[in-house]
Structure 1
Amino acid sequence: MAEATYTIRLDTLEVRMGLGIHAEELAGPQRVLVSVAMTCAYPAPPEDRIDAVVDYDRVREGIHAIAVSGHVMLQEVLCDRIAALCLADPRVVEVTVRSTKPDIYPDAQIGCEVVRRRGQ
């Protein structure tokens, strides 16, 4: 059977973390929303077992661990750390990570998105 490709999504995970360069952001944690889309390649359509696929529980727990590991100045760095976490599983061939800070401006959300491919 031919290779099977799936996109696994973790959308709008809310974490509280230190993120940013401004004084109010350095003063304490803020809400950050994280979304991840992982393109996963399997040798064939997976059997109905969690070990046959990329486990999004591991990704969710990893993002929470990153959030509590210390202040991050830039959203770009946060997105790259999450992308590296996802690409640690060799079945992930591409990942898109988006972070959003919803509470900085009263009239807009600000964010960053990165796309990383295996081998980049």
Structure 2
Amino acid sequence: MFVGFNLTFLPMFWLGLHGMNRRVAVYSPELQDVNLFVSAAGFLTGASFLFFVANMAWSLLRGPRAAANPWGARTLEWQVPSPPPAENFPAPPVVVGGPYDYGIPGAPAHALLGVAGAAPAEGEG
């Protein structure tokens, strides 16, 4: 799509700089080859969009289903099921690690969910 877009519109800029008016049915014969190239590139852009739509439909209907946390993210929003319940957590979670402790051996989990006696921080809840 990126290539087709650039192959369509960059030559159009060149055509405009060389005097081709917009929205005309008859134009200078010396600009015909470039105009034909622009038309072919426009069809390439359209075909790439059809490929995108087909890929999207295939992925939606036949693609693998994503897990609850497919990237292994450590932030709280990924600890909630989808769709989220009315109350995100049964008890307030206790955050014990940083969100970017990915490669640290022995790093604690980001949050301990449903910990008994956990209380929200001051000013929350």
Normalised by the shorter chain, which TM-score bucket? under 0.3
Choose between structure 1 and 2 for higher RCO, CA contacts under 8 A separated by at least 6 residues. 1
Q: Which has the higher strand share?
A: 1
Larger proportion of helix: 2
Instruction: Give the structure with higher Rg (CA).
Output: 2
Q: Structure 2-normalised TM-score? A: 0.21
TM normalised by structure 1 equals 0.22
